Amino acid sequence: MSKNSSSLLDRLLQKRAQARWARAARQAEGLDLSVLRGLRSDARHLRRALDRVLHVADARLALPLIGADAIKRPLGTDWAWRPNLWRGPVVPAGVASAESRTTMGDQATVFHDCKMSELTLRQIRNTREEDIAPFGLRMDVFRFDGSFLSVVIDLPKEAVQGLRLNHLIRLDCVVETEKPLEIFARLNVKHGPNTEQVVRELPISEGATWVEFDLAYTKMNEKRVEKAWVDLIFEGPQMNQIVVRDLTFSRHPRAEI
């Protein structure tokens, strides 16, 4: 049988199935209970299959597309990056009562010092017209008896290759919160036995915001740089929902004066 004939047969069978379920919906009120019980079982099996198709289709067809990597690049940018958590599906996609050191994918780790965790993490699909990143991270924080909550992002090796004291590392993010809270970003650069740290407070605003880390104010040994990571630190996060819609990093040299 040709491909076109098969497609025609599939369409005919689909129309018959649709007609059957439309007829079943009209007759459901008057059906014998034993018949209705069997019909319900069939409908549930069909719904599970349809839900799986819809879930995959919605994820793949929704904008922005999975894997999209549009990133703001300041003039002279020599490296730019969006962590996998904001680019594509990660495992696990959600964690309830998240313990400290819970990972979301292979580049993001959540730290806290709560005795009893009432923190829920979930990767969400961005679908708003203004969204650039395909995915976001939602944190629902209820009672919080700890002193800190942070999300640590491990930067790839490309971030530190050729890293110099005249470089600026920029963090761009889109954050939404139910109520205002202070958010700090701390860049950590390990060079030999030492680690340089630069802390910046993110401007308090709903939506897009950014900070820059100027390495000129550190004592970084350019010849011994090994790795770098960034801590996003959330102050007083209790009874709040925090959504990080996007998170990107870029690197560019400071303008010569």
SS3 39: helix
Phi, psi of 188 (to 5 degrees): -120, 125
Structure token digits, residue 199: 């802390």
pLDDT per residue rounded down to tens, the chain (257 residues): 444 555 888 888 888 888 988 998 898 888 898 888 988 998 888 888 887 787 666 666 666 666 556 788 888 899 999 999 998 888 888 999 999 999 998 899 999 999 888 999 999 998 887 888 989 999 999 999 999 999 999 999 999 999 999 999 999 999 999 999 999 999 999 999 999 999 999 987 767 899 999 999 999 999 999 999 999 999 999 999 999 999 999 999 987 65
Are 195 and 167 contained in the same domain?
Answer: yes
Is residue 116 domain-resident?
A: yes
SS percent in the chain: helix, strand, coil, step 5: 25, 35, 35
Q: Are 54 and 139 contained in the same domain? A: no
Is residue 51 located within the same domain as residue 89?
no
Q: Of 16, 35, 61, which closes a domain?
A: 61
Is residue 122 domain-shared with residue 227, that is, in the same domain? Answer: yes
Number of domains observed in the structure of the chain: 2
Instruction: Using a cut of 0.85, tell me whether the model's pTM lies above it.
Output: no
Note down the domain range covering 111: 79-253
Closest CA to 155 of 248, 39, 256: 248
- Is residue 43 within 8 Å of residue 217, measured between CB atoms? no
Cα(117)–Cα(145) distance, integer angstroms:
8
Query: In terms of DSSP bridges, do strands 94-95 and 119-125 run parallel, antiparallel, or are they unpaired?
Result: antiparallel
Residues 233 and 111 in one domain: yes
14 and 110, same structural domain?
no
Indicate if 17 and 83 belong to the same structural domain.
Answer: no
- Is the previous residue joined to 253 through a cis bond, with omega within 30 degrees of 0? no
Q: 98-101: list long-range contacts, CB under 8 Å, 24+ apart.
A: none
Q: Cβ atoms within 10 A of the Cβ of 86, count?
A: 28
d(CA 89, CA 109): 16
